[in-house]
Amino acid sequence: MIIRLRELERIRLRRGVLIQGLPGIGLVGKMAVDYIIRELKLPKVAELYSEGFFLHGGNVGVLVDERAVLKLPTYDFHLYRGGERDLIFLTAPVQPVSWTQYEVAEHVLDYFQSAGGVEVVGVCGTTMGDGPGVYFATASAEVADELVKLGFKPSPGGVITGACGLLPALAALRGLKAYVLMGYTTRVEPDPAAAKLLVQALCRLYGLKVDLKNLDLLIEELKRREAEMLKALREAARERRGEAPPFYV
């Protein structure tokens, strides 16, 4: 399989952490990672290309931006230089198709470890749980104890499909600290409120300072639109109930 990594900047990480947020349930993980990248204006340091990156709908193709520029779907790696350790935020417009997931994940880990990475986190959404909050899954009892002490909830069980669970699981096999954080959602469509929970969790874990104002505005706008839609549906239902009964001859 064709997989190519293009380094835009040669980096060396200090106790490096990789945080992956890709499209999934409610776009929760991707929204969280993209928001942090955007708010902190994090530079892109590498791109990974693969023939396993299909467009939505299962077609092979390219993306075209508003300037009519062609762009292949890629994994994009963005760098945050912290006080004591460095973070790599990994985002993408798509996930690899299922039969390429393992190979793509192994290439990501090869690159990350070669740069000094020691910890891998997958962030995504989950519908499993007893209500709003951040849930976790990990292969390490020690890591589980750490996360419980920080107030995160153990996953009640089930499966994590796609790259969100696979990358940390493969990282754990390499001896890296690895876990998954999941924001609870009941939505299929984008859920910025669940994404906010993950942004706050990552800020606590890694000492990030991210302004949540724009995310809060997005949440309020979504609530407003939903309220307007619900009002319109109720009015339409009242009108239907008030219609004159049909006449029969």
* CATH number for position 197: 3.40.50.10900
Q: Across the 249 residues of the chain, what is the mean pLDDT of every consecutive 10-residue run?
A: 93 98 96 98 97 89 93 96 96 95 98 98 95 96 97 94 97 98 92 96 97 94 81 77 56
Secondary structure, 3-state, 79-119:
EEECCCCEEEEEECCCCCCHHHHHHHHHHHHHHHHHCCEEE
Task: Kindly state whether residues 200 and 146 are assigned to the same domain.
Answer: yes
Q: Is residue 184 part of a domain?
A: yes
Give the Cα-Cα-Cα angle 175, 178, 179 (nearest 5 degrees).
150
3-state DSSP assignment of residue 154: strand
Determine the Cα–Cα distance for residues 80 and 58; give it in Å rounded to an integer.
33
Task: Kindly state whether residues 207 and 221 are assigned to the same domain.
Answer: no
Q: Which of these, 41, 48, 166, lies nearest to 105 by C-alpha position?
A: 166
Domain span at residue 168?
A: 3-211
Task: Kindly state whether residues 198 and 237 are assigned to the same domain.
Answer: no
Task: Kindly state whether residues 82 and 159 are assigned to the same domain.
Answer: yes
Task: Kindly state whether residues 40 and 126 are assigned to the same domain.
Answer: yes
Task: Kindly state whether residues 90 and 205 are assigned to the same domain.
Answer: yes
Query: pLDDT at position 224, please?
Result: 85
Task: Kindly state whether residues 69 and 99 are assigned to the same domain.
Answer: yes
Tokens coding 239: 């009108």
Determine the Cα–Cα distance for residues 173 and 177; give it in Å rounded to an integer.
10
Q: Is residue 187 part of a domain?
A: yes
Query: pLDDT at position 241, please?
Result: 74
Task: Kindly state whether residues 122 and 238 are assigned to the same domain.
Answer: no
Domain count, the chain: 2
Task: Kindly state whether residues 54 and 177 are assigned to the same domain.
Answer: yes
Q: Longest Cα pair distance anywhere in the chain, in angstroms?
A: 84
Give every CB contact of residue 150 below 8 A, 6+ residues apart in sequence. 204, 205
Q: Is residue 159 part of a domain?
A: yes
Tokens coding 58: 């299962």
Please tell me the pTM assigned to this model: 0.90
Query: pLDDT at position 128, please?
Result: 92
Q: Is residue 249 part of a domain?
A: no
Task: List the strands of the sheet with 3-7, edge to edge.
Answer: 3-7, 44-50, 74-81, 86-91, 16-21, 117-126, 177-184, 134-138, 153-154
Task: Kindly state whether residues 32 and 133 are assigned to the same domain.
Answer: yes
In tens, the pLDDT along 36-50 reads: 999 999 999 999 999
Residue 165, burial from CB neighbour count under 10 angstroms (0-12, 13-18, 19+):
middle
Q: What Å distances lie between residue 209 and 150, 201, 202, CA to CA?
A: 18, 11, 10
Task: Kindly state whether residues 161 and 112 are assigned to the same domain.
Answer: yes
Q: Are 7 and 45 in contact (CB under 8 A)?
A: yes
Task: Kindly state whether residues 97 and 42 are assigned to the same domain.
Answer: yes
Q: Is residue 234 part of a domain?
A: yes
Give every CB contact of residue 112 below 8 A, 6+ residues apart in sequence. 16, 18, 88, 120
